[in-house]
């Protein structure tokens, strides 16, 4: 069970070998002054281009934990090896599915870190609060 909790935490914050800091909010700070791309994780999930992921969770999950993540490769200088993305942890009382994506310019690349799922535990339930609802078509609404 502890392995699953640790693995989910890695998916929401970064990947092995990276030092990262996460946020519980859904809006990411772009840090580059650009306002033409929404880095709001709820908006990103609900985009028409994400229908494949939406259909995976539609009818299977009703709640989620949505978060931004950022990571920087250890040993790099300022700006070296930095990445940002959105993490989505869907769950029921028995199962979970974690889907994440990394920002690449104005688009998000899904499956970074890789999607994973498994049994949901009491430790996972106690580790955070759900901050989004999932409708019957797999779209999110912030709580």
Task: Provide the pLDDT confidence category of residue 79 given band limits of 50, 70 and 90.
Answer: low
Lowest mean pLDDT among 22-26, 99-103, 115-119: 22-26
Q: Could you tell me which of 36, 58, 59, 35 has the C-alpha nearest to residue 46?
A: 58
Q: pLDDT digit string (tens) for 103-121?
A: 999 899 999 999 999 999 9
* DSSP bridge pairs for 82: 72
pLDDT tens track for 52-64: 999 999 999 999 9
Residue 49 has pLDDT above 60, yes or no: yes
Three-state SS for 5? Answer: helix
């Amino acid at each position: 069970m502890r392995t699953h909790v640790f693995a989910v935490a890695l998916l929401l914050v970064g990947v092995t070998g990276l030092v990262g800091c996460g946020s519980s909010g859904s809006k990411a700070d772009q840090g580059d002054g650009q306002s033409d791309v929404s880095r709001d994780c709820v908006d990103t999930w609900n985009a028409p281009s994400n229908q494949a992921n939406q259909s995976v969770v539609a009818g299977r999950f009703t709640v989620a934990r949505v978060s931004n993540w950022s990571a920087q490769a250890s040993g790099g200088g300022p700006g070296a090896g930095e990445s940002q993305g959105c993490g989505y942890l869907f769950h029921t009382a028995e199962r979970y599915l974690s889907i994440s994506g990394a920002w690449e310019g104005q688009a998000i690349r899904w499956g970074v870190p890789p999607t994973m799922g498994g049994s949901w535990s009491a430790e996972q339930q106690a580790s955070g609060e759900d901050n989004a609802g999932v409708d019957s078509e797999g779209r999110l609404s912030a709580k």
